Structure formats: C-alpha cells, structure tokens
Amino acid sequence: MTPPPAALIAELTHRCPLSCAYCSNPLELERTGAELATADWLRILEEAAALGVLHVHFTGGEPLARRDLATIVRRAASLGLYTNLITSGVRLDDRAMGELARAGLDHVQLSFQDADPEPADASGGLPGGHARKLAAAARVIAADIPLTLNFVVHRGNLDRLEAMLALGERLGAGRIEIAHVQYHGWALLNRDRLLPTRAQLEAATAAVREARARLAGRIVIDYVVPDYYAARPKACMGGWGRRALNVSPSGRVLPCHAAETLPGFDFPSARDATLGDIWTRSDAFARFRGVGWAPEPCRSCAHLEADLGGCRCQAFALTGDAVRADPVCALSPDHGIIEQAIARAEGNGPLTPRRFGRPAARR
C-alpha cells in the first residue's frame, strides 16, 4: 500500500501583486477564469484529510488574491489539518488578518525580498511593498500566530543576509527560512545573473552558523546549501509521490509545482478524480516513485536511497531528458552544465522581471 502524503500544497491562484525575477512558477501561468471554485477546494480539503494529509500549505501566486481564502482555511482547520499561509503579505490588512485568525489559521510564512526597503521594492516590483510586509508581520504577531520569515536569496541580496536575520529577530519571527532561488520556471531565465558566487555562499553559510548558535532555542533558522553548489542533489519534494501532492490553481494534481514542465505526462485533475485515487492509482504519481525508474549512474549508486536521483524537473530543464541523473550531482555525466553556470555567475546583465498577462515565449 502507498503510504499517505503528509502535505498538500494548495496553489490557490497564480495571480500575484509582485513580479520577482526569481519566480519559480511556470512560464505560462494559469488564468483567473480557469481557477477552481470555492466548492472544489472545500471538497479537495476533505479528500486530503481522508487521505491522511497533515499540513496544508496555501500558496500561489498570492493566496490573498482570492476572496474566499478565509472560507477555505476555515474548512481545513475544521478538518484538523495544520494550516499554513504562504504569502507576500502586501494584502494582509487588518480585516484579512482578523478573518484568517478567526478561521483557525495555524501559521504564516511571510516572504521578504530583502532586508532594506529600496532593494526589496526593486526586486518585488511593487513600490511600498516592503513597508506593507513589515505591517503584515506586526499583524501576525498581534494575532498570536506563529510567524516564519522567508527570504529568497540570490547574488543581488545574499551579502545582506545578516541584516535579514536581524530583521527576523526584530519582527518576532519564531523561524527564519533562507531559501536559495530554485532555478525553475521564470527563475531559470535569469539564472546566470541570480546565481551567487562561491565566496558569497561561504560567507552566508558562516553567517547562518553564527546566528544559529546565537539564537538557539529562540529562533529556528532553516537554510539549505543551494543545489548548484552541493555535491549531491536533493530528494526533491522528499521524493516523487512520497510526501506531498500539489494542486494547481486549475485543479491539476502534481507531484511538485514544476512537474507540468515535463513532457509525456497527462496529469490528472481534481475535478475528475479524488486525491486518494490520484495518489494511489495514477500513472503520473507512480512514474518516478521510489527508485525503480532510476538510470545509471544512480541505479548502482550508494546515495540513491538518500537522494532518489534528485529533481526530475531540473534533469529535464538542463538536459532535455527527465530520466537522467540530476546534473547538480557531481557524479552525473552532465555535471559540466552546472560547472559552466557557476563559471558564468560573475556576469552582470539586467534581470528580467516576471511579466503577467502574456506568455513569455511570445515576448
């Protein structure tokens, strides 16, 4: 029997008030008119609870772009699911915060683009956005809801990591997540200008080590060395079809939010089948589950059980073949792709901000 997933990633919408150059959502975003209705999400949450899901992560896009967010959160909380709102915070006003707190929201993960307002607003593309995030953080704390601050880091802001950690401390976060850009979707377009240098990375890792010692028992700091500088790949999503399922704004049920970039898949829709059926019976979830699909050099590798061959979407994006070792692995025959990207990481062209409303391919 397939063990149940622990997490549901509920991508409520692709709409977003920010336009970050490092956005890892797909190049082609799903349109508002294609989004699931409130009733669909309420049913999906019931199916998730029945399947054994524990955490629900409401994300997007910006989940607060949906007016029915509190209704959806309330149903999740009433089902005993642990509810996490992943938000940019720029629309988290008093009214929204009050509704969500009353709905039983358990936790907020608030994203910041930088520690300083000027580069933060330049990065998010919304004037005044940083100030609104600061106000949102205060509302979360005042509502007595545990707060995580999430900083997406890259070459342009990594040198201000210590200021980011200090901001988290000042705002009362219980947890700070330092997330290196993941080079999927839009972010891959800008990779050569976002990838930090090795020297930057070493300084950042040292700063995190120091802060962890200083803040032990008060603030948890989650930080993972970025893929491109790691010797071994990550078991992406904790394994394909093993820990989590992702429902896209239009109801596609995916093993991860980038999976629709892979060719040769017909991802099932939550409109047509239950999450339980999709999790246990669909070809899409079975395809890369476990290690049976793995090619060489993974198949005979001692690390296979730990990393499961890495990320399928990254393998496809970089090599054109989803059934290859993740090139970030130093043992991959394609690892040269990563070494070349790192060598180019000194370049300084302009970034391309996320654009909405038209497909990137036809820009």
List residues near other proteins by CB under 8 A: 4, 6-7, 51-52, 54-55, 57, 82, 84, 106-107, 109, 144-146, 148, 174-175, 177, 216-217, 219-220, 222
Tell me which amino acid residue 136 is: A
Least CB distance to other proteins at residue 71 (A): 22
Least CB distance to other proteins at residue 46 (A): 14
* Residues 181 and 225 sit within 8 Å (Cβ to Cβ): no
Cβ-based nearer residue to other proteins, 15 or 107: 107
Q: Which two tokens stand for residue 363?
A: 């820009």
Least CB distance to other proteins at residue 274 (A): 15
First to last CA, the chain: 47
Least CB distance to other proteins at residue 32 (A): 28
Cβ-based nearer residue to other proteins, 47 or 121: 47
Least CB distance to other proteins at residue 288 (A): 22
Other beta carbons within 10 Å of 319: 17
Q: Is 110 helix (H, G, I), strand (E, B) or coil?
A: strand
Least CB distance to other proteins at residue 121 (A): 26
Q: Which two tokens stand for residue 301?
A: 């590798």
Rounded Cα distance, 297 and 188, in Å: 25
| Element at 360 (helix H, strand E) | none
**What is the chain's length?**
363
Cβ-based nearer residue to other proteins, 125 or 146: 146
Query: Can you spell out the DSSP letters for 212-278?
Result: HHHHTTT-EEEE---GGG-SS---GGGSTTTSEEEE-TT-BEESSTTGGGSTT----BTTTS-HHHH
Q: Which two tokens stand for residue 58?
A: 């409401």
Cβ-based nearer residue to other proteins, 84 or 250: 84
* Residues 178 and 153 sit within 8 Å (Cβ to Cβ): yes
Residue carrying structure tokens 């401390």: 169
Query: Can you spell out the DSSP letters for 179-221?
Result: EEPP-STHHHHTHHHHSPPHHHHHHHHHHHHHHHHHHTTT-EE
Q: How far is CA 13 from CA 31, 59, 68, 229, in A?
A: 8, 8, 11, 32
Cβ-based nearer residue to other proteins, 145 or 225: 145
Cβ-based nearer residue to other proteins, 29 or 49: 49
Cβ-based nearer residue to other proteins, 107 or 180: 107
Least CB distance to other proteins at residue 321 (A): 32
Least CB distance to other proteins at residue 107 (A): 4
Cβ-based nearer residue to other proteins, 143 or 323: 143
